[in-house]
Amino acid sequence: MTVIAIYNRKGGVAKTTTAINLAAALANNQKRVLLIDNAPQANATAGVGVNPSAQPGIAAWLTDSIPVEKVLIHDVYQNLDLIPSDYSKNDHSPFLDRFRLSNHISSLATRYDFIIIDNDPTLDLLTENALYAADTVLIPLRIDKFALDGYRELRRHLREFEKETHSHLEILGILLTQYESRTRVMKGMRKELQTTLGNLVFQTTIRKNIQLVEAPFLGRPIYDYAPRAKGAIDYEALAQEVLERTKKQAVS
């Protein structure tokens, strides 16, 4: 089982879009996938068609109020299960320490090939639990003038987290998002990021695509809404890279 935390301290970089559609793309590749919505906004929960206020979720599970079987929602998409967010119904912080999510996830090791955790931009105790539980971190990065500075600031915060927790965070890769290939300026920024950050950057770039915006409003992954859209093609390509990279990380 590989646990991937989707994280960036900036909002609007397609974290939730990536969590939902990477999870669905891996599921399409016959992997058993669990999507955990670890954000109080519950956008990933709503984005796969589940009402966040309709049932208990991650907060109830982590406070040991109810067992995992009572919060797991099976087959929100083929091969894809969900633990929804219910932080809004609680105090947003069921954690007493940084290790609770890791301890709970360990009981699911035999059930899934991948666990994808969607996170809030804030580096608070919720996100710290996800980072500690993760085997590796995927960083969506919007292509803009400040992307490189934002990434460097993020890495500084992640290194501080590693020191405080005596842990090591593997970076699975940096995913460039919201790319418009028709603009010369964006092509230049993309090339600069790829040159500066090297192999950390996935070969796949997520192109701007209206269907990626529309799909979560209908509570569906892109493959269940517009399977031939550019966004669907891009996330399938990302899934192939993720499969290859996680395989390499597992043997290194």
The model's pTM:
0.94
- Residue 214 burial class via C-beta count within 10 angstroms: exposed 0-12, middle 13-18, buried 19 and up: middle
User: What are the distances in angstroms from CA 22 to CA 86, 116, 125, 233, 241?
Assistant: 22, 8, 25, 11, 11
Residue 52 and residue 88 in contact, taking contact as beta carbons nearer than 8 Å: yes
- What confidence tier does 93 reach under pLDDT thresholds 50, 70, 90? low
pLDDT recorded at residue 142? 87
By residue count, the chain amounts to 252
Q: What is the mean pLDDT of the chain?
A: 91
Task: Report domain extents, the chain.
Answer: 2-251
> Under CATH, what is the fold of the domain 2-251?
Rossmann fold (3.40.50)
What is the identity of the amino acid at 71? V
Pair of tokens at residue 251: 């043997």
pLDDT recorded at residue 189? 84
Residue 80, beta-bridge partner list = 33, 77
Q: Is the pLDDT of residue 91 over 60?
A: no
pLDDT recorded at residue 94? 58
Pair of tokens at residue 185: 């300026």
pLDDT recorded at residue 197? 86
Instruction: Compute the half-sphere exposure of residue 231: CA atoms within 13 Å on the CB side of its CA.
Output: 24
- Helix 15-28 with 230-251: angle, nearest 10 deg: 80
Q: Is the pLDDT of residue 250 over 80?
A: no
pLDDT recorded at residue 88? 66
Q: Is the pLDDT of residue 226 over 60?
A: yes
17-54: b (≥16 Cβ within 10 Å) or e: bbbbbbbbbbbbeebbbbbbbbbbbbbbbbbbbbebee
Closest by CA position to 134, among listed 69, 57, 227, 38: 38
> Counting runs of H as helices and runs of E as strands, what totals does the chain give?
10, 8
pLDDT by residue (tens digit) across 167-215? 888 999 999 999 887 788 888 888 888 888 899 999 999 999 999 999 9
Residue 33 and residue 81 in contact, taking contact as beta carbons nearer than 8 Å: yes
Across 64-73, average pLDDT: 91
Residue 186 and residue 143 in contact, taking contact as beta carbons nearer than 8 Å: yes
Closest by CA position to 24, among listed 88, 98, 77, 82: 77
Q: Which helix (H) or strand (E) holds 132?
A: helix 125-133
Pair of tokens at residue 104: 């709970």
- What confidence tier does 33 reach under pLDDT thresholds 50, 70, 90? very high
- Residue 231 burial class via C-beta count within 10 angstroms: exposed 0-12, middle 13-18, buried 19 and up: buried
pLDDT by residue (tens digit) across 121-158? 988 889 999 999 999 999 999 888 788 888 889 999 99
